With several copies, the nearest count.
Chain A
């Protein structure tokens, strides 16, 4: 499959925005009391969300998890509303109710984000079912980690999705860790992709730091899904360059392992490719970088200047006032 110049530039831009957004958060987290809650980043894993989302149509749905910033930004979520939500501000995409851990942006079909590990797959079964039920030509993507693949919900969801040939792409970001636990310490299967066999479903291992490879795999899986052939499990092998959260000192991650993976930065990889293929000039790249930085700085300004919700707003949004008729 030939990937267009525009697509590559789109993915480069999307990864850069995500990186800038999160680098800024790393910085902000060092300021005591600035950012509430846990701060969970995907630095180094940007190729997954950016590659997959580049393969999607606007009507496609994504279900995300605790490590969601890249998925949502790649999907086109408004950085201002995300940043404000992370700050806990009223202007946040969820009015301060969710904070950084369950950011949901229905406007861009990022319908549900759950921080319950393994919570996503059963919900993705439901959204994909709705797509199939309405005979839409659309798919659901569910992002989750290697650790999540040990939850019972993963198993139930993949079995049901396969049984009903639902249009869902299960994207496992195998970043080699689940919390402080190394991959080999939480399962003995070499590749999570092999679990697809248990459901008679296609499974594929992809270099998760190669955004074009991810994009290709997602395109293929999407094609299978919309042609009513059912779900695919894609395992993206990547690495969590930061700790589980920003407060995590990464004592259990070998320093040279981190260094080796930092070398494999997915952004550098695509940039070098784009430069050598003449898709972008050095200047244009720097300009893009600067632009992303500006977007992030604006988002921070927006978040800082936004008001906190007033305490009683906590009481809103539990129920819909019913439309019983």
Chain B
């Protein structure tokens, strides 16, 4: 197995799917000629290899980029477009939410919209709240969209390949910090199914539900607890929509304790959905109150100590777990 960063894994997925299916094209701001040319980045080299017909640099026009995807998908292609940073999801949100997600339903099932919107989130780079804002809960609250948030390079590759082959609109959210954390990626071709959580670590004492960059952090916290004899089970949901309720519920039924961790702001974050499901279906198994470890209810600040305060860290998770074991 190769050791790749998530950007490289995404790059492989794009490359393989573009080779496999001539209907796949990519478009976005700076995805062909970019201001940074690094092999760690998702679209590195694709312009050279696939040419300007299939690798489309666009103007700074997020609504048009998303509209391009909706229309091209309606007409039978498989667009994979990029929204540079997640706060700019707002600018594409009419096209994504009112069109990509709804037009199939509005057609009475006659049309399909096989498109992928890749969105990068940039917390941890000191860029501030107009570049860093986790909006996955918005997308997950929208029927008609699938929402994928991989935590490892291997998952990113397998899930993106599935997303591109999926006949439904998929929002694929990449945390940019993960571009630079190498992990093993299988050599042979594989697909990772959308809608299946993965237990990234088995444990019997407490369940931590996590996704994206919070999974690695949870694994490190779990290692610490293990030394104390506390076994933390880590459920990486991988896709928020559809959500693999069964895996979450099974884990909570086993451990009786639940912590949900996400980088997004606390109030209205997707931890709420997970809590509600557990409270509906596994209340009797619960031995302790819920704990949420999340970004606080503030915009992401720019100054390093402030930004560090924003992003949940191992200590936050460790003390949350301690409170309920």
Contacts and interface: CB of A to CB of B under 8 A. Distances in A.
Please tell me whether chains A and B touch each other in their complex, using a CB distance cut-off of 8 A: yes
Interface of A: 36-38, 61, 63, 88-89, 92-102, 104, 106-107, 111-119, 121-131, 133, 140, 147-148, 150-153, 156-157, 159-160, 163-164, 178-181, 185-187, 243-245, 247-249, 251-252, 308-320, 322-325
15 contacts: A92-B108, A99-B128, A101-B302, A102-B130, A104-B106, A111-B71, A123-B99, A131-B75, A153-B63, A156-B64, A178-B59, A179-B60, A314-B298, A314-B306, A320-B168
Contacts of B63: 122, 152-153, 156-157
Given A127-B72, A150-B59, A314-B296, 8 more contacts: A101-B131, A106-B111, A119-B130, A125-B64, A126-B74, A181-B59, A313-B306, A319-B104
Contacts of A325: 165
Nearest to A185: B57
Contacts of A320: 104, 109, 112, 167-168
B302 A104 contact: no
A113 B125 CA distance: 19
A114 B108 contact: no
Contacts of A38: 125-127
A36 to B, nearest CB: 3
A319 B25 contact: no
B203 interface: no
B179 interface: no
Interface stretch (B5-13, B26-34, B227-235, B256-264): B26-34
A286 B143 CA distance: 49
Nearest first, the 5 closest Cβ-Cβ pairs linking A and B are A126-B71, A122-B67, A99-B302, A96-B303, A88-B303
Given A102-B128, A130-B71, A317 B104 contact: yes
Contacts of A323: 165, 167
Interface string B175-208: 0000000000000000101100000000000000
Interface of B: 25, 29-30, 33-37, 53, 56-64, 66-77, 79, 87-88, 91, 94-95, 98-99, 103-112, 125-128, 130-131, 143-144, 146, 162, 165-168, 191, 193-194, 296-299, 301-310
A104 B107 contact: yes
Contacts of B127: 37-38, 99, 101
A160 B77 contact: no
Contacts of A114: 98-99, 103, 130
B148 to A, nearest CB: 13
B94 A94 contact: no
Contacts of A148: 60
Contacts of B126: 36-38, 88, 99
Contacts of B166: 322, 324
Interface centre among B37, B53, B57, B303 (most CB of A within 10 A): B303
Contacts of B36: 247-249
A113 B74 CA distance: 12
A212 B307 CA distance: 42
A245 B162 contact: no
B74 A187 contact: no
